[in-house]
């Protein structure tokens, strides 16, 4: 309800009820919720927050815009909602205390991966002393029954329309991993600590993370908290063990140079290759080096990738710190792909090499699948098909579009929302649409549509890989098999081979997309390489369905619906987020059955093109 509507209602019914002004009500709600937002100055273009090393700066070091107005007021504000009071409030609600005990009661079965608590990173932490600012504490991670594990998530999203140049925002979310997986990603259980304002993605995201990093340190020391069941105080400890987000956000949080760089992968030290002949500046990351003499990087064995470790990160950062000239520093940064300390660095529970799993939705649904479709429709970075013939005839593709649209018309909405004509308009395809289409629709509508069946078989193999990665429970043996299937898939994606068939004396080509050609390096993007790390990530962090970020997308969508102001979208969003946090906190503290924030207000309401059949439960 808008303020004007509220005031009109207040005026109309003034003879029947005494409604307080919006300001008074909000003030009372704020007192009840006991959440104190903290405001920090940030750059008008949101390059940095004036925190940490920028605390005393008067102007932004990236865009040189001044910090203050002529009246010495900050030009833009980042509102941060502290995490500690919100975690403490959980222990005032006996029902939530029970739910939080899921972590402590979880029984890990060796060789079985069903949750983050089966991942080796968490299991190793159980035997590791807590480290804060490099100093060891006399207790181990998660030694307390009530210790909380959480994941930090961030992702950039566009505010108004699907236009890459439009203004964006980056919400900073916390997912409480102690809660059972069935309710962990419900909107009321996600804590949004702040929305990093746009218009663009921050240049130094770490500066916005300083308040949370400091809170992580306080939580690792322990915060005195009252427990409503025991009716006594205890030291609440909480540790971040994972970070979720899109590829760019993770690169910024990790402090690495990332995609397009010489050492682009966050998980391994494989060097990239650029198109030297055409003076290409972007580095790609194929396994097999292009088949020309001037390319000197040796080809890479996918079974022996040189994985990064926390010690590697620390050692490179020490070397960079010790350099005396800018040239030497730049050269080191380029060679190792690391440029600065990670955003969250005070507590040792986050490991730069293990806490940043590759994420399902961004990897498959927003990169690999759309790229494959672009290849099949001849719209991939201006490339032709090389010496191959994997493109689908436009008329057949149009038919596939119609079949796609028709195929989902009667599938219950719980499985997938309405899909448009993929041949006419791909912009309506969300990550969820791409995922469903590729796993369940594409194997049918693409059958017999390629000029050669090998492309179809290759596509089916990826579809099966995706299904395996989504298993709720996956065994060590299945992960080993998955690893081999992925290696086979990536090798084929790159493949170029000619074999001579002696009987018919003809040449049989067995080539796919990259064909080991220097001018086709752009097919070997980082996301294809990222596939090679999935199996290890499951072993370290748990199955992909507990580390994916669909919840983040959903949260952004809900937040976007509440957006009213086009001139001040970020303060509008921050205010909305604060009000949701107030109501959420009140519902937790006072044990209200239903979340009064009603963020999921759509409920059972049918969406456009959805039908409810009579007799359907």
By CB under 5 A, name the binding residues for Zn ion: 43, 45, 47, 60, 62-63, 265, 267-268
Q: Please spell the DSSP secondary structure of 136-176, one letter per residue.
A: EEEEETT-STT-EEEEEEE--EESSSS-TTS-EEEEEEEEE
CB of 218 to Zn ion, least distance (A): 29
Query: Would you say 139 and 128 are in contact if contact means Cβ atoms under 8 Å apart?
Result: no
Distance, in Å, from the CA atom of 28 to the CA atom of 15, rounded to the nearest integer, reads: 23
Alpha helices by DSSP H, 306-356 = 310-322, 326-336
Helix (H, G, I), strand (E, B) or coil at 133: coil
CB of 529 to Zn ion, least distance (A): 5
Query: Would you say 69 and 59 are in contact if contact means Cβ atoms under 8 Å apart?
Result: no
Distance, in Å, from the CA atom of 405 to the CA atom of 421, rounded to the nearest integer, reads: 5
When the beta carbons of 60 and 581 are compared against Zn ion, the nearer one is: 60
When the beta carbons of 191 and 528 are compared against Zn ion, the nearer one is: 528
Query: Would you say 227 and 97 are in contact if contact means Cβ atoms under 8 Å apart?
Result: yes
When the beta carbons of 175 and 267 are compared against Zn ion, the nearer one is: 267
CB of 276 to Zn ion, least distance (A): 22
Q: Please spell the DSSP secondary structure of 103-127, one letter per residue.
A: HHH--PPTTEESSGGGSHHHHHHTT
Of 302, 245, 296, 294, which Cα lies nearest the Cα of 524? 302
Of 149, 62, 43, which Cα lies nearest the Cα of 106? 149
Of 169, 158, 173, which Cα lies nearest the Cα of 212? 173
CB of 544 to Zn ion, least distance (A): 17
When the beta carbons of 47 and 179 are compared against Zn ion, the nearer one is: 47
When the beta carbons of 35 and 43 are compared against Zn ion, the nearer one is: 43
When the beta carbons of 47 and 236 are compared against Zn ion, the nearer one is: 47
Find all residues with CB under 8 Å of 450, minimum gap 6, and list them.
376, 390, 392, 456
When the beta carbons of 115 and 483 are compared against Zn ion, the nearer one is: 483
CB of 68 to Zn ion, least distance (A): 13
CB of 268 to Zn ion, least distance (A): 3
CB of 60 to Zn ion, least distance (A): 3
Q: What is each CA distance from 343 to 118, 255, 257, in whole angstroms? A: 26, 7, 14
Query: Would you say 588 and 190 are in contact if contact means Cβ atoms under 8 Å apart?
Result: no
CB of 460 to Zn ion, least distance (A): 25
User: Running DSSP on this structure, what letter comes out for residue 367?
Assistant: I
What are the two backbone dihedrals, phi and then psi, of residue 233, each rounded to the nearest 5 degrees? -90, 150
Query: Would you say 34 and 585 are in contact if contact means Cβ atoms under 8 Å apart?
Result: yes
- How many other C-beta atoms can be found within 10 angstroms of the C-beta atom of residue 134? 8
Find all residues with CB under 8 Å of 399, minimum gap 6, and list them.
none
Helix (H, G, I), strand (E, B) or coil at 393: coil
CB of 47 to Zn ion, least distance (A): 3
When the beta carbons of 207 and 267 are compared against Zn ion, the nearer one is: 267
When the beta carbons of 82 and 302 are compared against Zn ion, the nearer one is: 302
Find all residues with CB under 8 Å of 172, minimum gap 6, and list them.
152, 153, 154, 192, 193, 194, 195, 196, 208, 209, 212
Distance, in Å, from the CA atom of 401 to the CA atom of 422, rounded to the nearest integer, reads: 5
When the beta carbons of 86 and 252 are compared against Zn ion, the nearer one is: 252
When the beta carbons of 65 and 473 are compared against Zn ion, the nearer one is: 65
CB of 287 to Zn ion, least distance (A): 10
Q: At what angle do helices 247-254 and 205-221 cross, to 10 degrees?
A: 70
CB of 64 to Zn ion, least distance (A): 7
CB of 59 to Zn ion, least distance (A): 8
When the beta carbons of 113 and 356 are compared against Zn ion, the nearer one is: 356
């Amino acid at each position: 309800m808008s303020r004007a509507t509220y005031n009109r209602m207040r005026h109309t019914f003034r003879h029947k009820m005494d409604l307080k002004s919006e300001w008074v009500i909000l003030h009372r709600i704020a007192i009840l919720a006991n959440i104190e937002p903290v405001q920090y100055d940030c750059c008008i273009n949101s390059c940095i927050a004036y925190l940490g090393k920028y605390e005393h700066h008067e102007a932004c070091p990236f865009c040189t815009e001044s910090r203050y107005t002529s009246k010495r007021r900050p030009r833009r504000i980042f509102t941060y909602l502290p995490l500690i009071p919100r975690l403490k409030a959980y222990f005032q609600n006996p029902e939530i205390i029970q739910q939080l005990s899921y972590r402590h009661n979880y029984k890990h079965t060796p060789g079985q991966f069903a949750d983050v608590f089966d991942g080796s990173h968490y299991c190793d932490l159980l035997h590791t002393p807590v480290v804060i600012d490099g100093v060891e504490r006399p207790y181990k991670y998660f030694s307390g029954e009530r210790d909380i594990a959480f994941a930090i998530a961030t992702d950039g999203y566009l505010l108004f329309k699907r236009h890459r140049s439009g203004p964006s925002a980056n919400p900073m979310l916390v997912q409480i991993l102690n809660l059972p997986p069935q309710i962990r990603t419900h909107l009321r259980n996600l804590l949004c600590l702040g929305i990093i304002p746009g218009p663009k993605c921050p240049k130094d995201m770490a500066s916005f993370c300083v308040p949370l990093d400091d809170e992580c340190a306080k939580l690792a020391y322990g915060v005195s908290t009252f427990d409503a069941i025991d009716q006594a105080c205890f030291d609440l400890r909480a540790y971040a063990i994972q970070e979720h987000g899109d590829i760019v956000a993770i690169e910024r949080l990790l402090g690495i140079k990332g995609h397009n760089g010489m050492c682009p992968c966050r998980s391994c030290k494989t060097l990239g290759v650029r198109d030297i002949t055409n003076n290409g500046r972007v580095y790609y990351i194929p396994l097999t080096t292009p088949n020309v003499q001037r390319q000197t990087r040796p080809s890479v064995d996918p079974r022996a990738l040189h994985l990064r470790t926390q010690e590697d990160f620390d050692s490179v950062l020490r070397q960079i710190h010790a350099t005396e000239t800018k040239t030497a520093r730049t050269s080191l940064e380029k060679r190792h792909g690391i440029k600065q300390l990670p955003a969250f660095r005070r507590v040792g529970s986050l490991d730069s090499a293990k806490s940043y799993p590759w994420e399902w939705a961004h990897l498959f649904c927003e990169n690999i699948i759309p790229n494959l479709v672009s290849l099949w429709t001849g719209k991939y970075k201006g490339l032709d098909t090389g010496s191959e013939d994997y493109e689908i005839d436009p008329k057949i593709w149009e038919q596939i579009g119609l079949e796609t649209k028709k195929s989902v018309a009667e599938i219950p909405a719980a499985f997938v929302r309405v899909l448009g004509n993929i041949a006419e308009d791909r912009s309506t395809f969300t990550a969820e649409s791409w995922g469903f289409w590729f796993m369940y629709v594409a194997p049918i509508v693409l059958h017999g549509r390629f000029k050669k069946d090998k492309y179809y078989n290759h596509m089916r193999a990826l579809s099966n890989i995706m299904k395996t990665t989504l298993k709720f429970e996956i065994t060590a043996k299945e992960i080993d098999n998955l690893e081999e299937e992925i290696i086979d898939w990536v090798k084929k994606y790159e493949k170029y081979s000619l074999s001579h068939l002696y009987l018919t004396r003809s040449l049989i080509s067995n080539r796919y997309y990259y064909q080991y050609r220097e001018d086709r390096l752009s097919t070997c993007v980082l996301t294809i390489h990222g596939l090679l790390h999935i199996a290890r990530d499951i072993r370290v962090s748990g199955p992909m369905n507990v580390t994916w970020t669909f919840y983040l997308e959903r949260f952004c969508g809900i937040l976007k619906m509440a957006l009213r102001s086009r001139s001040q979208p970020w303060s509008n969003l921050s205010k909305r987020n604060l009000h949701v946090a107030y109501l959420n906190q009140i519902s937790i503290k006072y044990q209200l059955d239903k979340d009064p924030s009603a963020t999921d207000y759509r409920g059972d309401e049918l969406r456009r093109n959805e039908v409810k059949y009579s007799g359907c439960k």
